[in-house]
Amino acid sequence: MRPDLSPETLVVAVGRPAKEPDAPVNVPVVLSSTFHAGGPIAYARTSNPTWEALEEVVGALEGGRALAFSSGMGAVSAVLDLVPNGGTVVVSSHSYSGVAARLRDLEADGRVRVRLVPVQDAASVAESCTGADLLWIETPTNPAMEVCDLAAVAAAARELGVLTVCDNTFAGPMLQRPIEHGVDVVVHSATKSLAGHSDVLLGIVVTTDDDYHQRLLRARTLVGSIPGPFEAYLALRGIRTLALRVKQSQASALELATRLSAHPAVTSVRYPGLPDDPGHEIAKRQMDGFGAIVAFETVGDADAAEAFCDRTELITHATSLGGVETLMERRRRWPEERPDVPETLIRLSVGIEDVEDLWADLSQALDGLL
Ligand SMILES: *Cc1c(COP(=O)(O)O)cnc(C)c1O
């Protein structure tokens, strides 16, 4: 495929069978645990043609070689396994709760040391990288929506010989391609916007480094955290409309963030697309759009915020994000969530419904807080 094609084209065109008479247009779901001898796959724990098509698309979008895993956490764990025994991981103080919890467990076992950094402060991140082995970045962060200057921290980490990883789940490759900013490894929970329909769990790792690619492939094969072919097919099918979904969702997210900012039941809004958001300038520089996730705090206590989440009719009160349907939840309902995330912080994942219908639902539920 031509490398100069835009992401909007790549999502549609890559990962297709060869254009031969009567060849299928879509890659089939290949259900076979073993393959005729003599080829590179041989056994289905190594690879599968349906995953390979998915890997081709995400690799083309992110600018590296992709490997699909059974879940986002499967991908995360494979990357954390690259850290040598006793090594140090520098990680954004706000990051996906599963990543934070896994790092706490690894630290408790004496496997790694962990340093938490405010990821929006590039100088402080750079300082913390001295003597570290791996820098784990999320931007925008989950759920606080802080923005990290990827080029600045990747350059500082590179100088110190620290491997840089970016969990790009929130922004996604339509809007942010960390490898272009000097990041070594990109991780996705493809469960979210890549697959986009809240019907599969999948993870992806992308890197330009052949050695890391080989180590991750070997780890996936031997640990066995492989995706199912049907899940890979669904994710690939979802990716075909990624560009359209992202366009619609983020336009609505900006509109809702703006209206939320003006609502008397809302005490704060974080969305990098708002001109007065602390992350706006950096986001404008390194992203092609501001994404579909909005974080806001409501008046009242945790119980009131929880009741607010139950009052919406169209918007679904559920965890996760990046689907076609709008979801929201109070993040602190999870015991794993960090205690410095405000009790009433609501994470809103904006889907592709009509924005006026979404606002009508949101505003009636907010009015109940007053
Ligand atoms: C959901 C999520 C993960 C974990 O992915 P799973 O597919 O649920 O295992 C990792 N990072 C971020 C940012 C996520 O939102």
Tokens 């909007």: give the residue. 8
- In 3D space, the residue among 25, 5, 13 whose CA is nearest the CA of residue 57 turns out to be 13
Per-domain residue ranges of the chain: 7-239, 242-367
Distance CA 154, CA 163 (A): 9
CATH C-level class of 242-367: alpha beta
* Token duo for residue 297: 């705090």
Give the three-state DSSP class for 170: coil
pLDDT in tens for each of the 370 residues of the chain?
666 899 999 999 999 999 999 999 999 999 999 999 999 999 999 999 999 999 999 999 999 999 999 999 999 999 999 999 999 999 999 999 999 999 999 999 999 999 999 999 999 999 999 999 999 999 999 999 999 999 999 999 999 999 999 999 999 999 999 999 999 999 999 999 999 999 999 999 999 999 999 999 999 999 999 999 999 999 999 999 999 999 999 999 999 999 999 999 999 999 999 999 999 999 999 999 999 999 999 999 999 999 999 999 999 999 999 999 999 999 999 998 889 999 999 999 999 999 999 999 999 999 999 9
Kindly give, in sequence order, each residue whose CB lies less than 8 Å from that of residue 108, ignoring residues fewer than 6 positions away.
Answer: none
* Token duo for residue 136: 């784990």
- In 3D space, the residue among 257, 243, 274 whose CA is nearest the CA of residue 175 turns out to be 243
Distance CA 253, CA 155 (A): 31
Residue 227 near residue 68 (C-beta atoms within 8 A): yes
The response to whether residue 203 sits with its C-beta less than 6 Å from ligand 1 reads yes
The response to whether residue 95 sits with its C-beta less than 6 Å from ligand 1 reads no
Going by alpha carbons, the residue nearest to atom 12 of ligand 1 is 96
Supply the pLDDT for residue 10.
97
CA dihedral 320, 229, 211, 13 (to 10 degrees): -80
Going by alpha carbons, the residue nearest to atom 9 of ligand 1 is 72
- Residue 143: asked if its preceding bond is cis (omega within 30°), the reply is yes
Distance CA 8, CA 234 (A): 19
The response to whether residue 198 sits with its C-beta less than 6 Å from ligand 1 reads no
- Kindly give the number of the ligand 1 atom that is closest to the alpha carbon of 75: 9
Distance CA 271, CA 144 (A): 9
Supply the pLDDT for residue 19.
96
The answer to whether domain 7-239 and domain 242-367 are alike in fold is no
Ligand 1 pocket mutation, candidates 73, 80, 201, 319, criterion most atoms within 8 A of CB: 73
Strands (E), the chain: 65-69, 87-92, 112-117, 134-138, 163-167, 185-189, 203-207, 266-270, 293-298, 316-317, 327-330, 345-349
Tokens 């520098």: give the residue. 90
Supply the pLDDT for residue 1.
67
Supply the pLDDT for residue 174.
98
Considering Cα of 283, then 298, then 137, then 159, what sign does the dihedral take?
positive
Chain-centre distance for alpha carbon 76: 11
Query: What's the burial of 231, exposed, middle or buried (CB within 10 Å: 0-12/13-18/19+)?
Result: buried
Going by alpha carbons, the residue nearest to atom 8 of ligand 1 is 72
Cα distance between the two ends of the chain: 55
Regarding the domain delimited by 7-239, which CATH topology (the fold level of the hierarchy) does it fall under? Aspartate Aminotransferase; domain 2 (3.40.640)
Supply the pLDDT for residue 338.
87
